[in-house]
Amino acid sequence: MAGNLRKKEDLQEGPGSNLIGKMCDKIGHLFLNGIIKLMNRLIPLLLTFTLLTLAACTAPPRVKPTTAVTPPVQPEPIKPVKPSRPPVLSELVGRYSLFAGSDINFELKEQGGKLLVFAMGRSSELKQISPTRFQLAGGREVNFQYSAEGKYDRFVTMSDGRNQRFIRDDSLARSRKGVTNQAVYTWQMINALKAGDYTHSRFISPSRGLVDYSVYLPSDWRRDSKKTYPLIIYLHGQTGWEHSFSEAVPAAQLNQWMARGLIPPTVIVALRSGRIGANGRTEEQWSSPRNEKLITSESSNELRAFIRQQFRAGMSAKTTSIHGHSRGSRGAIHYALKFPDSFASAVANAFVSDYALPETMQIATQNQQRLRTNGIPLRMSIGDRDEFVLNMGRKATPVMHQHLNRLGIPHQYQLFSGIDHSFAKLWNVRLKNGMPNGLSELQFHAGAWAK
């Protein structure tokens, strides 16, 4: 073991070891100084890089700036003005209509210090009761009212058991020229929406222009919710308007049926038909090309997309139904036969448009194979005391019923005893089981949505 150990003397430096050691010390000293200088330069850089890295990791993510959404510029509100005196007869003169382009209108003229009303080629005197109250020969009263501008440009009278307001045509024209931006209409509509009630607004359609509509929203509808609803599009009859449905069907009735679970919560949109012709008073058929685009188009700027965006209703054809009365029933049948892929069901009340029979029957014949196998549920009804049937011999409903039977196209047909052309009476007539027909029709639609 001792042989493997070197002696202490063997570990001592030799004669040249001092010079080599000094050189090594010199080189080591220079190398160490270089390292120190390099580190002095690198440390600030490393610290800066570290701080930047930490800042990047801890700072919140950068969000691309978005354009602020501001309310649209709305027309300057008119400060209501109260007239300083009652109207004189000359201020009441003019043409009054239920709405712009309405077929229901009156012409008031002053003759010999009296106010005369002209309608349907006849004239009669308005007997003055007070400065703003007059009476027709039959006893019906006409009560004049003033606008926000302080002008006596409208009157209220009773018709079919309900009040109707007629406005002078020049005032109607001004009201429709006030807004040309859909954003303004939408903004106004949003602020006016009432769940469990009807709201009136306007929609600017690329295919048809300005469209007045009334929308019913169920009681549980909330703007900030994501819940979606089935949709019924209602088409009024001749001389009707967007309020025809709400005038016949109280919101309270719909609310009650939905609260009892008899029908699902449903959005109902009632449209006003367009006006065409040189004088702008010819009522447009619901089957016109413009109305077809308005009602069936899936374009992002048309009616269906607007309803889905604003009311979350009719999110697909499977939850969208169409319902019409009189001329509107012709429209409902037209869409059921020509566009079955666009709707879930159709109800047609009091179809008496005999002039449209050839075209409607032809559509059914052309599409019979498709309608037999993939048609939508269709329900037609009419009263046996319908004035158009009794006085004018109209027979569109039974003829269409027989034609569909011959073609083997499934549908329902009902004839109500003692009921005339009135939509309200057709809606409220009781079935054999005691159920109101209107409720049964809504359940008919709901059955189609559930499939």
pLDDT digits (tens, 9 = 90+) for 22-59: 444 554 554 445 545 555 555 555 445 444 444 444 44
Q: What percent of the chain has pLDDT over 90?
A: 59
**The predicted structure's pLDDT at residue 291:** 96
**The predicted structure's pLDDT at residue 17:** 44
**The predicted structure's pLDDT at residue 4:** 41
> At residue 175, does pLDDT exceed 50?
yes
Q: Choose from 79-88, 269-278, 297-306 the range with maximum mean pLDDT.
A: 297-306
Condensed to tens digits (0 to 9), the pLDDT of residues 359-408 reads 999 999 999 999 999 999 999 999 999 999 999 999 999 999 999 999 99
**The predicted structure's pLDDT at residue 25:** 53
**The predicted structure's pLDDT at residue 29:** 53
Window from 93-102, 123-132, 348-357 with minimum mean pLDDT: 93-102
Mean pLDDT of 198-222: 93
**The predicted structure's pLDDT at residue 191:** 81
> At residue 215, does pLDDT exceed 70?
yes
**The predicted structure's pLDDT at residue 57:** 45
Count CB-CB contacts under 10 A for residue 440. 18
**The predicted structure's pLDDT at residue 6:** 38
**The predicted structure's pLDDT at residue 196:** 97
**The predicted structure's pLDDT at residue 130:** 94
All CATH 3.40.50.1820 domain ranges in the chain, comma separated: 180-449
Question: What predicted TM-score, i.e. pTM, was given to this entire model?
Answer: 0.71
**The predicted structure's pLDDT at residue 383:** 98
Mean pLDDT of 162-169: 80
d(CA 449, CA 451): 6
Q: What percent of the chain has pLDDT over 70?
A: 77
Window from 26-40, 81-95, 187-201 with minimum mean pLDDT: 26-40
**The predicted structure's pLDDT at residue 434:** 96
**The predicted structure's pLDDT at residue 180:** 59
CATH 2.40.128.50 fits 89-172, yes or no: yes
CATH 3.40.50.1820 fits 180-449, yes or no: yes
Window from 26-40, 130-144, 186-200 with minimum mean pLDDT: 26-40
All CATH 2.40.128.50 domain ranges in the chain, comma separated: 89-172
**The predicted structure's pLDDT at residue 81:** 84
What is the 3-state secondary structure of the chain?
A: CHHHCCCCHHHCCCCCHHHHHHHHHHHHHHHHHHHHHHHHHHHHHHHHHHHHHHHHHHCCCCCCCCCCCCCCCCCCCCCCCCCCCCCCHHHHCEEEECCCCCCCEEEEEEECCEEEEEECCEEEEEEECCCCEEECCCCCEEEEECCCCCCCCEEEEEECCEEEEEEEHHHHHHHHHCCCCHHHHHHHHHHHCCECEEEEEEEEECCCEEEEEEEEECCCCCCCCCCCECEEEEECCCCCCCCHHHHHCCHHHHHHHHHCCCCCCCEEEEECCCEECCCCCEECCCCCHHHHHHHHCCCCCCHHHHHHHHHCECCCHHHEEEEEECHHHHHHHHHHHHCHHHCCEEEEECCCCHHHHHHHHHHHHHCHHHHHHHCCCEEEEEECCCHHHHHHCCCHHHHHHHHHHHHCCCCEEEEECCCCCCHHHHHHCECCCCCEHHHHHHHHHHHHHCC
